[in-house]
């Protein structure tokens, strides 16, 4: 089974080599009809990918994980995106019963108390809804870039995600921050206004802060934890 996935991914990597982001997305949508989905957190990167999909009418579904703890600015850019492209980005929510039990037992802000609590909250609010959102799809498009963190440097644009049983496609993997910003400005794409206030990687409100000059891209996420623990479980790399 593993060799089958490897062969498919190798062939797809050859086919998308050197083509534009739009054409690579179109090629995947054509190769896996109705089975390609994109998870957007409304970040700069994700807004650029949404633009490519929606502006070009590519048959790729777009969903977001509404954790219930997002910034109001994030909801604003969600509204602007729906309006600009005349679309309806699909929200996935945590399961009410699991979330209610967790918050009852641990309290609403238990993520500050331990890594275990933080990962528990991320699992209920993000990882489990993600699994539901990906279910039935064959390709998961993401906005990961190599610049984001050291463990993303060695990634290929396509990889097999064992935990979700799906091919992951990172169309902007080799884009620089400047390139993404240029494309956003050039195409007048709606973006999260927090980016203008030194927020770089934007997640839930209680777990995200602005970064200072010279700080790492991920410094504003879970800043009270060790740097090597700062993944929420959405993207697991070998």
Catalytic residue annotation: 232
Q: Which is nearer to ligand SF4, 119 or 152 (CB)?
A: 119
Give the residue at shortest CB distance from ligand SF4. Answer: 204
Q: Which is nearer to ligand SF4, 125 or 148 (CB)?
A: 125
Cα separation of 36 and 47, whole Å? 17
Cα separation of 231 and 238, whole Å? 13
Q: Residue 100 in 3-state DSSP?
A: helix
CB of 39 to ligand SF4, least distance (A): 14
Nearest partner of 211 among 74, 221, 203, judged by Cα: 221
**Residue/partner pairs of 199-203 with CB below 8 Å, 24 or more apart:** 201/43, 201/148, 202/41, 202/42, 202/43, 202/71, 202/74, 203/41, 203/67, 203/232
CB of 22 to ligand SF4, least distance (A): 31
Q: Which is nearer to ligand SF4, 38 or 71 (CB)?
A: 71
Nearest partner of 195 among 45, 58, 56, 37, judged by Cα: 45
CB of 78 to ligand SF4, least distance (A): 16
Q: Which is nearer to ligand SF4, 8 or 103 (CB)?
A: 103
CB of 71 to ligand SF4, least distance (A): 11
Query: Among residue numbers 89 through 148, which ones bind ligand SF4 (CB under 6 A)?
Result: 111, 118, 121-122, 125-126
39, 41, 47, 67: which one contacts ligand SF4 (CB under 6 A)? 67
Residue 203 touches ligand SF4, criterion: CB under 6 A: yes
* Separation in Å, CA 149 to CA 152, 159, 173: 5, 17, 11
25, 62, 133, 207: which one contacts ligand SF4 (CB under 6 A)? 207
Residue 89 is given by DSSP the state P
Q: Are 133 and 89 contacting, i.e. CB atoms less than 8 angstroms apart?
A: no
Q: Which is nearer to ligand SF4, 21 or 201 (CB)?
A: 201
Site size for ligand SF4, by CB under 6 A?
13
Q: Which range binds ligand SF4 by CB under 6 A, 21-29, 166-174, 199-207, 210-218?
A: 199-207
Cα separation of 50 and 143, whole Å? 10
For the chain, give me the number of helices (H) and strands (E)? 8, 6
CB of 28 to ligand SF4, least distance (A): 29
Helix ranges (H only) for the chain are 2-16, 21-31, 44-55, 72-85, 96-106, 115-122, 128-134, 177-186
Instruction: List residues binding ligand SF4 (CB under 6 A).
Output: 67, 69, 111, 118, 121-122, 125-126, 203-204, 206-207, 232
């Amino acid at each position: 089974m593993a060799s089958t996935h490897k062969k498919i991914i190798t062939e797809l990597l050859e086919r998308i080599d050197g083509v534009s982001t739009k054409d690579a997305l179109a090629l995947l949508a054509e190769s896996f009809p109705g089975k390609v989905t994109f998870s957007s957190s409304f970040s700069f990167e994700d807004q650029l990918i949404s633009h490519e999909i929606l502006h070009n009418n590519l048959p790729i579904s777009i969903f977001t994980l509404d954790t219930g703890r997002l910034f109001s600015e994030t909801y604003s850019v969600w509204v602007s995106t729906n309006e600009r492209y005349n679309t309806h980005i699909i929200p996935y929510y945590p399961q009410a019963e699991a979330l209610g039990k967790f918050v009852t037992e641990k309290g609403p802000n238990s993520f500050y108390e331990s890594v275990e609590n933080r990962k528990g909250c991320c699992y209920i609010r993000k990882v489990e809804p993600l699994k539901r959102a990906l279910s039935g799809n064959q390709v998961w498009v993401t906005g990961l870039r190599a610049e984001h963190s050291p463990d993303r440097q060695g990634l290929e644009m396509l990889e097999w995600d064992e935990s979700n049983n799906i091919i992951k496609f990172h169309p902007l993997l080799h884009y620089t921050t400047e390139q993404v910003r240029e494309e956003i400005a050039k195409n007048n794409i709606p973006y999260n206004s927090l980016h203008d206030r030194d927020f770089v990687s934007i997640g839930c409100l209680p777990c995200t802060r602005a970064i200072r000059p010279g700080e790492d891209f991920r410094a504003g996420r879970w800043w009270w934890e060790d740097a090597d623990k700062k993944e929420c479980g959405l993207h697991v790399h070998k």
